[in-house]
Amino acid sequence: MVQCVSLYATALYVLKRLHKVSDQDTGRMRCPENLNNNRDGDKYMPVLSSFSRSLGTRLCAALFAVAASAAPTSAAYAQGAYPNKPIRLIVPFPPGGGTDMIARTVAQKLADQNKWSVIVDNRPGAGGNLGVDATAKSAPDGYTLVMGQTSNLAINPSLYAKLPYDPIKDLAPVALVSSSPIVMAAPANSRLKTFADVVAASKGKPDTLTLGYSGNGTVAHLAGELAENAAGIQLRHIPYKGAAQAMTDLLGGQIDLYMSSVPTLLGQVRNGKLKILAITSAKRSSQLPEVPTLAEQGYKGFEAVTWFGILAPAGTPAPIVTQLNRAINQALQQADVIDKLKSEGGDVLGGTSDQFSTLLRTEVPRWAKIVKDSGASLD
């Protein structure tokens, strides 16, 4: 039996508002100890009028209803009760891309290991903003998650003047999943063999070498800007709407260079049609161990990578975030998941939700400066 006294003030206020009960009437009330044994009203409320006795019964009934309605919510957060329905993992990009592949790999392993139902929901649009915004505005109950990444979490807040969400205030980081560096590629038959060749050619004839990338304001675009600034050169930028046309032009010799993530280019590198001149990560890629980083080539501290992580709406209960974090880290430790992510050029991350939060708070201002220096804008 729920203790009436513990919720007395709350329900009393509600009844006073609903039934216009006076302070004089409510001041004479006290709750019956047992709603089911209240035939003799004087036993429980000796000074109440018949109206007050009726009101007292309604008061405690209201208290019981409030407590009963709260019980399912509390039970939902109890250990072992979550999840009891399908979890939706939003991917803010179309099917078939790198973010989608990573999300589906993790979702499948979460389902297999925990006997959960995890549904991947592709919500592309506005540079990934639509899917992230849908998550930020969802109920914070652990049943809607998003596979976010550098562009829509760290870059877009500075790129869009009116972003509909705040990645730090409106989302709860759950776990980092993986990261992928950006690489500078050239056709296999290009005269350019290293980034030093790019620097020399560009300084000899500024604004003649062409640099392609998919989309303004992407990590690839801004990594190209960073490389230019670091080397003190000027390249002619050619933005593309997608990777397909850019790859066609690169292989056909219509553009000299192309900046993209490793998964996009790895197949053409392996079949001998492209070569990689530089990589933007702090350390060499396990998939391209022969390619030196820009930091190794004299540009100390240079790093620009795309990282991927799973987030929930802000306000998601800490026990649920912890449970999800533990499950995701367990999935990332499995050999088949590691092999899949590495085969696509990624490095497996994992870690605590606090580590992800720290990264996000560091990356947002860092990319804000890069965006400002580049002059990029999409509004």
Whether residues 30 and 97 share a domain: the answer is no
Whether residues 168 and 195 share a domain: the answer is no
The last residue of one of the domains, among 77, 100, 131, is 77
Whether residues 171 and 231 share a domain: the answer is no
Number of other residues whose CB lies within 10 A of the CB of residue 220: 28
Q: In this structure, what are the phi and psi dihedrals at residue 87, rounded to the nearest 5 degrees?
A: -95, 135
The last residue of one of the domains, among 279, 313, 347, is 279
Whether residues 231 and 318 share a domain: the answer is no
Is residue 86 one of the residues assigned to a domain? no
For residue 137, the domain's CATH number is 3.40.190.150
d(CA 256, CA 288): 21
The DSSP H or E segment spanning 178 is strand 171-187
This prediction's pTM:
0.73
DSSP 288-301: STTSPBTTTTT-TT
Is residue 293 one of the residues assigned to a domain? no
d(CA 363, CA 197): 31
State how beta strands 305-313 and 171-187 pair: antiparallel
For residue 262, the domain's CATH number is 3.40.190.10
SS3 119: strand
Is residue 294 one of the residues assigned to a domain? no
Whether residues 70 and 103 share a domain: the answer is no
Is residue 379 one of the residues assigned to a domain? no
Whether residues 61 and 125 share a domain: the answer is no
Residue 186: domain span: 182-279
Whether residues 35 and 23 share a domain: the answer is yes
Is residue 200 one of the residues assigned to a domain? yes
CB 142 within 8 A of CB 316: yes
d(CA 159, CA 170): 18
Whether residues 309 and 165 share a domain: the answer is yes
Is residue 82 one of the residues assigned to a domain? no
- pLDDT truncated to tens, each residue of the chain (379 aa)? 333 334 444 444 444 444 444 444 444 444 444 434 444 444 433 433 443 444 445 544 544 444 444 444 444 455 458 999 999 999 998 888 889 999 999 999 999 999 999 999 999 988 899 999 999 999 999 999 999 999 999 999 999 989 999 999 999 999 999 999 999 999 999 999 999 999 999 999 999 999 999 888 889 999 999 999 999 999 999 999 878 899 999 999 999 999 998 888 888 999 999 999 999 999 998 889 999 999 999 999 899 999 999 999 999 999 999 999 999 999 999 999 999 998 878 889 999 999 999 999 999 999 999 898 877 777 5
pLDDT at position 379 is 59
d(CA 148, CA 364): 13
CA dist list (Å): 106 to 50, 57, 110 = 64, 53, 6
Is residue 85 one of the residues assigned to a domain? no
Whether residues 321 and 269 share a domain: the answer is no
pLDDT at position 262 is 87
Is residue 17 one of the residues assigned to a domain? yes
State how beta strands 274-279 and 87-91 pair: unpaired
Whether residues 193 and 329 share a domain: the answer is no
Give, as one character, the DSSP assignment of residue 153.
I
Whether residues 174 and 202 share a domain: the answer is no
Whether residues 228 and 254 share a domain: the answer is yes
Q: Which residues of 21-49 are buried (b: 16+ CB within 10 A; e: fewer)?
A: beeebbeebbbbeebeebeebeebbeebe
Tally the domains of the chain: 3
The last residue of one of the domains, among 33, 50, 77, is 77
